[in-house]
Amino acid sequence: MRIAVVGCTGLVGTQILKVIDEFNLKVNEIIPIASERSVGKTICFKGKDYNVVGLRQGVEMKPDVAIFSAGGELSKQWAPEFTKVGCFVVDNSSAWRMDNSKRLIVPEINAHLLTKDDKIIANPNCSTTQLVAVLAPLHKIYRVKRLVISTYQSVTGTGVKAVQQMENERKGVVGEMAYPHPIDLNCIPHGGSFDEDGYTTEETKLVNETRKILGDQSINITATVVRIPVYGGHSEAVNIEFVSDFNLDEVRKILSETPGIIVQDNPTENIYPMPLLAEGGNDIFVGRIRRDLSQPKSLNLWIVADNLRKGAATNAVQIVEYLYKKGFIGKKTNKS
């Protein structure tokens, strides 16, 4: 495959390159693409240097697939340009997620829906990805009726500017602010921008994307998004009301047998998921599994994953891997 990485110098873009390498995909050329200020720099991949190019040149190089991680506005403009030259696009922004003509994919759940005609494929929001990966196997058996979600999200989800703000604050340095308030030693109940209904765009994404991926618009969902001063990943406290009742041992068994999920649930030994342990990995960790004693058929879970990995880069690369295995891209195609 010839893979383009759009936004290759950003937090997610650098992780995409790492994951491609770790997955040992059949890659004969990487096309690193970034903003004009980065054009001409070099990126090293598997011991070979590649020159960073601009978007127009990237299109002209006709990659098999382009993984976008450069924001929604840029994706709206340029993703269609890549598809015109026969390229698949896997997009990390929110630009295409709720477009009814585009697939929103977490490979373990719904990759089977993809066809060779799905040229633009949306990657979910990082918080959604780890949530639905845990919900999907439970939804099949018990059917989710209602979700109450509180997230505790890493500064890395906001980007380099937010990481720099936290580091500056820890050093006592006055610098540029990514948030309207200090983030170190603080929690900010604000993710994205506020809508008229008082919810933020990050909260709305959790609602809409979860329903789309699970294929069930009847699920009632409410969410609160909070930014916290950590690097390692996003954490979520999730309360689930099911249509059918469940057995806790069966729930643990289902989750422990689900690919990509690791159950860490031994609170008497202080074993439970934490972003400190999730950082740098591709798995989704779930623990604090317990029945909600306040109402029937309800379950509490604590879910943690590295938002730059499974929440973004890893999920995108897994989609590319699926496209290759299906013969939609790479050496099995007849593309000239």
Q: Residues with catalytic annotation?
A: 126, 234
Residues 6+ apart with CB under 8 A from 261: 133, 134, 255, 283, 284, 285, 286
Can you tell me the distance from the alpha carbon of 208 to that of 203, in angstroms, rounded to the nearest whole number?
Answer: 9
How many residues in the chain? 336
Work out the widest C-alpha separation in the chain, in whole angstroms.
62
Can you tell me the distance from the alpha carbon of 241 to that of 208, in angstroms, rounded to the nearest whole number?
Answer: 18
DSSP H helical ranges for the chain: 11-23, 55-60, 72-83, 107-110, 126-142, 160-171, 201-214, 248-256, 275-278, 314-325
**Structure tokens, 176:** 């540029």
**Structure tokens, 87:** 């390229």
**Structure tokens, 15:** 């992780």
Task: Single out the residue of 44, 227, 206 nearest to residue 153, CA to CA.
Answer: 227
